[in-house]
Amino acid sequence: MNSTPSNGVPILRLGDVLVTGLLNELDDKSAVAFTEELTARITSDHARGVLIDISRLEIIDSFVARTLMELTTMARLLGARVIVAGMRPPVAITLVELGLQLTGVETALNAEQGMAALGWHQTPSPPEGVLRDTRQ
């Protein structure tokens, strides 16, 4: 099941992993709505992993950083492992300059590496009983 919550941030399900992202335009109201939707989806979809792609974030402020930390903490409390993927160098630099630490937040260079860390692989297994031809 895939959905776009009222805040406009889609949450996609790939197996037992939820994939979503954060945008610069996250205000108080949309942050609350997004947090509620994501935590509800973790429980209803029995997600064991969440990938939060922040590659579209060009800048970050303390509000977005706090929201990201709260989201990862809530997801972990619900039993889901969280990977934050796609952090751009200017975002990392800003976090350090602001003295903000994403304590306990796992990161990956990009979404593909994040999904691999969550145990999801791009190449699906063949259907049961079907063998792949591996001859060259």
4 CB burial (10 A radius; 0-12, 13-18, 19+): exposed
H and E: helices and strands count for the chain: 4, 5
- pLDDT range class, residue 109, cuts 50, 70, 90: very high
Report the SS3 class of residue 36: helix
pLDDT at 135 over 70: no
Span 12-117 CATH architecture: 2-Layer Sandwich (3.30)
Higher per-residue pLDDT: 62 or 114: 114
For the chain, the domains span 12-117
Q: What is the pLDDT of residue 122?
A: 60
**Least confident among 5-14, 55-64, 123-132:** 123-132
Residue 99 has pLDDT above 70, yes or no: yes
What is residue 108's predicted lDDT score, i.e. its pLDDT?
97
Angstrom distance (rounded) from CA 81 to CA 36: 17
Q: pLDDT higher for 108 or 1?
A: 108
